[in-house]
Structure formats: C-alpha cells, structure tokens
C-alpha cells in the first residue's frame, strides 16, 4: 500500500494505544494460569494477533468479554505438540521458545523469513549444550527438550526478549534457577516490565536490578484481572509531532510507567545540543529520534549496533529515507550521526523497508514536507490505525491500494 501525506496543520489530543510489550506478557501469563484471567485494554495488531493465535494453539481458550477486553482460560505449561505461527513478531517467538522446552515434546514455529534471520543464538546455545533439538530453516524452527533447574548465562546486549522468555519458563521447574546476564545489560526497562507482570500473576523472580535473577522453582501462575497501559513506543511518534508542530497533546501513558520508551521527550531535548544520545535502553525510539534530529538541528546517537537486528536494519533504513529529504547521515558500527542540514520535500517516494517504525517515523516528517510512503501497510504490525489517528489530528492522508 502507498500513502500520500500532504502538509497540513495538526492539533488535538492523541491517546496512546495499548502497550504491545505489556499485552504479549499478560496474554502469555494468562495462558499459563490455571483458571480464567481478564485482560483489558487490548487492541488488535499483527504482533498481538500472533501471540493470541499461539496461545490458542497451546490450548488456551480466548473469548471477547467486552470492547477491548479478553477472557483467557489458561491450561498451564504446554504439554502437547503444536505448530505455532508467529508472523513477524520477535516477542512472540522469543517469549514462547523456553515455554515449549518444558515438556519434552516437539513444537514448530513458523513465520516471516526476516524474523528467522534475526538472532536466536541464545536459545540455540542452550539447546545444543543440553542435547535438545533445535532445527532451523529459512522460515521455521522446531525445538524439543526439557529444561532443568540450574544456572543459565546469556548475553545481556542482544535482546531482553531472551531473558523474558526464560523468566516465564524457569519458575515452573522443580528447583531454584539462576539467570545471569553477561556483559553490558541493555533494554533493562523491558526486564522490569517482565518482573512486574510476573508479580501480578503471583510469580517471583528475585532481580538484583543489574544482571542477576534468582528464581524459586515450583511456582504457578494465578489468574489476574489486569489492564494494559498505554504504549510509550507508539506514543513517541505523536510526541514527535508535538515537538515539531506544537499543537498535539499526548495522553494515556502513566507517569510512573516502566517502559523504556517513556524517555522520548527527555532525549529529544538533547537534539541540536551536541550531547550524545544513548539508545541502549530504547532502541525502538531510533527511527523517530533520527527523524526529529534531521528536522531540529542534528544529533549523535550511540549504542546503535542492535538497530541492524530489528525488522529492518533501522540505522541504514532511516539514513536512506532521510537522505531523500536532503539530510546527511553517517551510520557506523555503534553510532549514527545526523547532521544539521536544511531539509526539502523528498523527490522520490519513501520506503517503509517493511518496518512499522520506519513507516511511522517517515510519516512524521511528511506532515511538514509532504510525499509518499511505499509499503505503508507495515504499520499493521503494531499500530494498524496509525494513519487514521494521524488524520483525526488534521493530517491529510490518501491511500493507493495498488
């Protein structure tokens, strides 16, 4: 799908959609609880749909219980083999693999090729060391094994999703386990979210706040009635509109949220000052911060190596699109520099690179300069009504489905 965005004044109130990160965790926790949980403030997206499909395949009963409300009757630890379609959702895949290594029966995951190109080496190492099956193709993965209590060491600088997956699985083992994150721990805020959600389900994982979890065994998930809070990651695109255009107010993200992407506004204040901006704990903000930097005086972003492991190589993808506006961008191994240069309307269509966050970051700039985005349907991954929400603020968006 191609969208055309024309320059227009924007104003109004934007209420953040539900947090995708929290939604995945609550839905999986509910599937593990023996009983019925009520999960409120759920909105459909490709990633959340992938998790819903998987927990159904694992035996959970999921029923609508009102607008944005789901009733989830869990079945505990998965015991029967299943085929699980994860689409493009890295969270779904990485959260569920350890749970499928609790019963000793095979499970097969399938999905987008790009997803299976992203790192899974943490789990591959765990499986190889224990003699488990870990059979990967271009678009699938089959695992079979039975985890035992003990000490697990994984790198802290690849993705917090691996640690989260293990934190959901290890409490079910009949014995204490220890999870140690080696090297530099990044995306720590996501582990805090995991810790909170597990606590809501009555599961304890003792975290030292840095790199070590002590996890008592023999724990079980109890049903909850919980609401998913607003998504700071998606709210950031509208915070950027407020920064660049001035008349947009963003609501719906609690002031005390644990989400790492809550820091957009504080990081945006550093744009144009010459102060380096670390993305170690908020890599998903990279596209929108790069867009804001191109418009507001440039910036140097550090801790960017993981950007190449996302839905696209986000540093290179954003650099390519910003250059169409006349920006000068340099992408290095662990640093991205956006220079202070004047921008102009792009002369060729922008590309989403199949990445929802690239599409939304591009749209932020196009509300000022106008232009087209090819592959705009990428927003369906996390924010299907993004363009409708933009239109509600006065944005001028037209669609070409051809």
| Segments in the chain below pLDDT 70 | 402
Residue 271 tokens read as 């744009």
Q: Are residues 254 and 292 located together in one domain of the fold?
A: yes
Q: Would you call 180 exposed, middle or buried from its count of C-beta atoms within 10 A (0-12, 13-18, 19+)?
A: middle
Q: Would you call 139 exposed, middle or buried from its count of C-beta atoms within 10 A (0-12, 13-18, 19+)?
A: middle
* 350-351 and 140-144 beta bridge pairing: unpaired
* pLDDT computed for residue 196 by the predictor: 97
Residue 366 tokens read as 């196009």
Question: Of 202, 227, 252, which marks where a domain is finished?
Answer: 227
Contacts 24+ apart (CB under 8 A), 263-267: 264/232, 264/235, 264/236, 264/239, 264/240, 264/288, 264/289, 265/239
- Catalytically active residues, by annotation: 284
Q: Are residues 389 and 261 located together in one domain of the fold?
A: yes
Q: Are residues 218 and 321 located together in one domain of the fold?
A: no
Q: Is the dihedral of CA 188, 386, 95, 30 positive or negative?
A: positive
Distances (CA, A) of 173 to 146, 178, 261: 10, 12, 33
Q: Are residues 222 and 239 located together in one domain of the fold?
A: no
Give the chain's domain count: 2
Q: Are residues 50 and 193 located together in one domain of the fold?
A: yes
Q: Are residues 239 and 329 located together in one domain of the fold?
A: yes
Q: Are residues 11 and 71 located together in one domain of the fold?
A: no
CATH classification of the domain holding 38 = 3.65.10.10
* pLDDT computed for residue 184 by the predictor: 85
Phi, psi of 373 (to 5 degrees): -125, 120
Question: Of 199, 227, 255, which marks where a domain is finished?
Answer: 227
Buried/exposed code over 34-57 (b: 16+ C-beta within 10 A; e: otherwise): eebbbbbbbbebbbbbbbbbbbeb
Q: Would you call 274 exposed, middle or buried from its count of C-beta atoms within 10 A (0-12, 13-18, 19+)?
A: exposed
Question: Of 207, 227, 247, which marks where a domain is finished?
Answer: 227
What are the beta bridge partners of residue 144?
133
Q: Give the chain as a 3 state SS string.
A: CEEEEECCCCCEEEECCECHHHHHHHHHHHHHCCEEEEEECCCCCHHHHHHHHHHHHCCCEEEECCCCEEEEEECCCCCCCEEEEEECCHHHHHHHCHHHHCCCCCEEEEECHHHHHCCCHHHHHHHHHHCCEEEECCCEEEEECCCCCCEEEEECCCCHHHHHHHHHHHHHCCCCEEEEEECCCCCHHHHHHHHHHHHHCCCCCEECCCCEEEECCCCCCCCCEEECCECHHHHHHHHHHHHHHCCEEEECCCCCCCCHHHHHHHHHCCCCCCCCEECCCCHHHHHHHHHHHHHHCCEEEECCHHHHHCCCCHHHHHHHHHHCCCCCEEECCCEEEECCCCCCCCCCCEECCCCHHHHHHHHHHHHHHCEEEECHHHHHHCCCCHHHHHHHCCCEEEEECC
Q: Are residues 215 and 316 located together in one domain of the fold?
A: no
Q: Are residues 296 and 367 located together in one domain of the fold?
A: yes
* pLDDT computed for residue 312 by the predictor: 87
d(CA 259, CA 170): 23
* pLDDT computed for residue 187 by the predictor: 84
Q: Are residues 298 and 387 located together in one domain of the fold?
A: yes
Domain that holds residue 281: 2-17+230-400
Q: Are residues 89 and 153 located together in one domain of the fold?
A: yes
List strands edge to edge, sheet with 212-215. 151-155, 177-182, 212-215, 206-207
Q: Are residues 39 and 13 located together in one domain of the fold?
A: no
| pTM, to two decimals | 0.92
* pLDDT computed for residue 393 by the predictor: 97
């Amino acid at each position: 799908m191609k969208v055309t965005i024309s320059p227009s004044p924007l104003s109004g109130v934007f209420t953040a959609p539900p947090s995708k990160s929290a939604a995945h965790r609550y839905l999986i926790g509910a599937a593990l609880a023996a009983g019925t949980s009520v999960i409120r403030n759920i909105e459909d997206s490709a990633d959340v749909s992938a998790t819903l499909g998987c927990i159904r395949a694992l035996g959970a009963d999921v029923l609508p219980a009102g607008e944005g409300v789901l009733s989830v009757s869990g079945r505990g630890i998965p015991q029967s083999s299943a085929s699980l379609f994860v689409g493009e959702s890295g969270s779904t895949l990485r959260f569920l693999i350890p749970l499928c290594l609790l019963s000793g029966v095979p499970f097969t995951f399938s999905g987008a090729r790009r997803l299976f190109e992203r790192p899974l080496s943490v789990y591959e190492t765990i499986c190889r060391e224990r003699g488990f099956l870990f059979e990967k193709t271009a678009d699938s993965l089959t695992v079979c094994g039975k985890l035992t209590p003990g000490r697990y060491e994984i790198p802290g600088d690849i993705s917090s999703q691996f640690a989260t997956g293990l934190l959901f699985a290890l409490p079910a083992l009949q014995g204490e386990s220890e999870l140690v994150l080696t090297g530099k721990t990044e995306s720590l805020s996501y582990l805090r979210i995991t810790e909170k959600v597990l606590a809501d389900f009555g599961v304890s994982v003792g975290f030292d706040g840095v790199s070590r979890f002590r996890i008592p065994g023999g724990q079980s998930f109890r049903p909850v009635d919980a609401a998913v809070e607003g998504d700071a990651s998606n709210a950031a695109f509208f915070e950027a509109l407020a920064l660049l255009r001035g008349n947009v107010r963003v609501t719906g993200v609690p002031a005390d949220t644990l989400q790492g992407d809550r820091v957009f506004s504080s990081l945006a204040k550093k744009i144009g000052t010459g102060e380096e901006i670390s993305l170690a704990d908020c890599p998903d903000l990279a596209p929108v911060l790069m867009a804001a930097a191109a418009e507001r005086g440039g910036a140097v972003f550090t801790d960017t190596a993981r950007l190449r492991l996302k839905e696209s190589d986000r540093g290179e993808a954003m650099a390519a699109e910003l250059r169409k506006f006349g920006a000068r961008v340099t992408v290095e191994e662990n640093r991205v520099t956006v220079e202070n240069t004047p921008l102009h309307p792009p002369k060729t269509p922008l590309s989403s690179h199949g990445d929802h966050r690239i599409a939304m970051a591009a749209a932020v700039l196009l509300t000022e300069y106008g232009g087209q985005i090819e592959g705009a349907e990428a927003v369906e991954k996390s924010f299907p009504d993004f363009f409708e929400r933009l239109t509600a603020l006065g944005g001028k968006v037209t669609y070409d489905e051809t």
